[in-house]
Amino acid sequence: MGANQRKVLHEVANWFKIKSKSTGSGDQRRPVLHRTRNTVKFAEPHFEQAMALMQRRNMQRSGRPFGSGPRGGAGGGRVDHAAVTVRDGEVVGGSAPEIGSANKGRRLLEKMGWSNGDALGAMDNKGRTEPIEHIVKRSKAGLG
């Protein structure tokens, strides 16, 4: 049993208040479970709820079944961080489109009387109309 699969088993055991620990080493590492006085009695709805939670959290990653990653874990592989990095001097979210009318927060503001172009946070429309910009500074010069 792989490390990720043992982790899932330990989480399920914890959900049902079953004492669990892993013993052995290398290829012989295995989980050992012990029922206690606090162990939850089996009930189908409780079991289904626990399994659904564990499946959502650990078993499915990007449409692949558990254990199908390159190292046998959930997901595995490398992440391309280049797609999410920002450059020095770039405005964070500067290229993001305006929030559409389907957005829940925007609908709430509009229900309270706000409209596009109005200011937030001040009376008589004297507040800030544009979001605060954050310019990326990747160097450590000038800090501290």
Query: CB 66: neighbour CB atoms within 10 A?
Result: 19
Amino acid present at 7:
K
Confidence of residue 69 (pLDDT cuts 50, 70, 90): very low
Contact 128, 78 (CB under 8 A): no
Contact 111, 117 (CB under 8 A): no
pLDDT of residue 71: 47
Q: Furthest-apart CA pair in the chain: how many Å?
A: 71
Could you tell me which of 59, 17, 48, 55 has the C-alpha nearest to residue 34?
A: 17
Round to whole Å and give the CA distance between 51 and 60. Answer: 12
pLDDT of residue 16: 83
Round to whole Å and give the CA distance between 55 and 64. Answer: 12
Round to whole Å and give the CA distance between 18 and 25. Answer: 22
Task: For residues 29-35, give the mean pLDDT.
Answer: 87
Amino acid present at 51:
M
pLDDT of residue 17: 84
pTM above 0.75, yes or no: no
Write the pLDDT tens digit of every residue in 83-142: 556 677 888 877 788 888 899 999 998 898 888 888 887 777 788 887 788 888 877 777
Q: How crowded is the C-beta side of 103, counted as CA atoms within 13 Å?
A: 9
Task: Report whether pLDDT(80) > 70.
Answer: no
**What is the token pair recorded at 105?**
């927060």
Contact 100, 92 (CB under 8 A): no
Task: For residues 49-77, give the mean pLDDT.
Answer: 55
